[in-house]
């Protein structure tokens, strides 16, 4: 009888362990310490982020297995990798890019996610298991840099698609005022409305602030925006060095290696037991920037010498 009791108890423990394993699909990955990285593109910024991430983990003395999957926008491959993660588990999923992040948020359940190479936190707002290192800079920092590089600009314009950027622009109105600037906003619902919007806002502003926007600031709209700002001698704060090379006055940029380090630091906390949801999304902590001296000359602007000296890229 005693042997039967022990047998039943042992069987109960085995069943309980099996139920726990079934309820925690990531347990196998948790034991192995596996980190799965989904990289949306094989471009240098993405490579730098990955290098910074790996260096940060090594600096922390972490010897976890990192599996990197270059997705190149391939939705089928993304789904295949995420299905494998759901089946075999992982301690952590790191996503580089919006498409990879959105797919992971939909698919991986309770596995912690660190997202980066995304502009804002919208891509993870539906997730209770995610945090991020964002690409966008805080609005007050953007306004401070605009005032530093173009100190004569008191009235700043912004063109934006309301469906995408109304909350950001509404917030920016207050931030601009706190930084001694007046922000003139111009809604643009479609690319067809852009020429009239440019003509209208050009009459009222000293500078134009470019923000990430899928209607306004695109490869297709870059030429008319740049031509308008050059013709009207309105300095443009572009989105990247490529915008500055094409004629924008300046653009803030990121240190992608350091963004990877930030992701590695978040990973260290999560693997140490901190929940991803308790870690607020963070902004890039290092600012780099490009300037175009030819554009400055065409607009009769003299950039502060400390600004020119500190630029990562100078186009002239």
pLDDT at 158 (0 to 100): 98
When pLDDT is cut at 50, 70 and 90, the band that residue 11 belongs to is: very low
**CATH match of 26-135+257-278 with 1.10.10.10:** no
How far apart, in whole angstroms, are the C-alpha atoms of residue 26 and residue 35?
Answer: 11
Q: For the chain, what is the mean pLDDT?
A: 90
Residue from 257, 254, 268 nearest 59 by CA: 268
The phi, psi pair for 132, rounded to 5°, reads -160, 155
Residue from 288, 214, 217 nearest 250 by CA: 288
CA dihedral 17, 20, 25, 27 (to 10 degrees): -60
In this predicted structure, the answer to whether residue 248 has a pLDDT above a threshold of 50 is yes
pLDDT at 176 (0 to 100): 96
214 contacts: CB under 8 Å, gap ≥ 6:
161, 164
Mean pLDDT value of segment 275-291: 96
* Better-predicted residue by pLDDT, 27 or 59: 59
In this predicted structure, the answer to whether residue 18 has a pLDDT above a threshold of 60 is no
Whether the CB-CB separation of 26 and 90 falls below 8 Å is answered with yes
Mean pLDDT value of segment 71-99: 93
CA dihedral 120, 102, 271, 137 (to 10 degrees): -10
Mean pLDDT value of segment 203-223: 96
In this predicted structure, the answer to whether residue 100 has a pLDDT above a threshold of 50 is yes
Where is average pLDDT lowest: 2-11, 92-101, 102-111, 280-289?
Answer: 2-11
pLDDT at 102 (0 to 100): 95
Would you tell me which CATH number, out of the four given (3.40.50.720, 3.40.50.1220, 3.40.50.2300, 1.10.150.120), belongs to the domain 139-254+287-315? 3.40.50.2300
CA dist list (Å): 254 to 98, 143, 236, 241, 257: 17, 16, 18, 10, 9
pLDDT at 109 (0 to 100): 81
How far apart, in whole angstroms, are the C-alpha atoms of residue 235 and residue 238?
Answer: 9
How far apart, in whole angstroms, are the C-alpha atoms of residue 40 and residue 135?
Answer: 15
**What percentage of the chain reaches a pLDDT higher than 90?**
85
Mean pLDDT value of segment 115-135: 95
> 186 forms bridges with which residues in the sheet?
159
The phi, psi pair for 160, rounded to 5°, reads -155, 155
Q: What is the pLDDT of residues 33-81, one digit of tens each?
A: 799 999 999 999 999 999 999 999 999 998 888 999 999 889 999 999 9
**Residue range(s) of every CATH 3.40.50.2300 domain in the chain:** 26-135+257-278, 139-254+287-315
**What percentage of the chain reaches a pLDDT higher than 70?**
90
Whether the CB-CB separation of 308 and 314 falls below 8 Å is answered with yes
């Amino acid at each position: 009888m005693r042997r039967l009791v022990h047998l039943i108890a042992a069987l109960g423990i085995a069943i309980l362990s099996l139920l726990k394993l079934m309820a925690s699909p990531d347990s196998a990955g948790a034991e192995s310490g596996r980190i799965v990285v989904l990289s949306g593109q094989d471009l240098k910024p993405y490579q730098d982020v990955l290098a910074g991430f790996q260096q940060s983990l090594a600096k922390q003395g972490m010897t976890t297995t990192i599996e990197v999957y270059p997705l190149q926008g391939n939705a089928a491959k993304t789904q295949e990798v995420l299905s494998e993660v759901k089946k075999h588990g992982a301690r952590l999923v790191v996503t580089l890019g919006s498409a990879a992040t959105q797919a992971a948020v939909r698919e991986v359940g309770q596995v912690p996610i660190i997202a980066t190479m995304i502009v804002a936190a919208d891509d993870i707002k539906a997730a209770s298991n995610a945090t991020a290192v964002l690409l966008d800079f805080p609005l007050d920092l953007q306004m401070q840099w605009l005032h530093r590089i173009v100190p004569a600009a008191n009235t700043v314009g912004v063109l934006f698609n309301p469906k995408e950027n109304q909350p950001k622009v509404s917030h920016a109105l207050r931030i601009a005022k706190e930084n001694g600037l007046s922000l003139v906003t111009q809604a643009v619902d479609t690319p067809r409305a852009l020429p009239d919007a440019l003509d209208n806002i050009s009459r009222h502003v000293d500078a134009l602030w470019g923000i990430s926007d899928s209607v306004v600031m695109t490869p297709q709209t870059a030429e008319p925006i740049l031509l308008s700002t050059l013709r009207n001698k309105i300095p443009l704060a572009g989105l990247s060095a490529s915008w500055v090379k094409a004629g924008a006055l300046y653009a803030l940029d990121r240190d992608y290696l350091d963004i990877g380090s930030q992701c590695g630091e978040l990973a260290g906390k999560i693997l140490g037991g901190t929940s991803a949801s308790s870690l607020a999304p963070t902004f890039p902590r290092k600012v780099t920037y490009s300037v175009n001296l030819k554009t400055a000359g065409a607009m009769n602007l003299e950039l502060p010498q400390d600004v020119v000296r500190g630029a990562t890229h100078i186009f002239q």
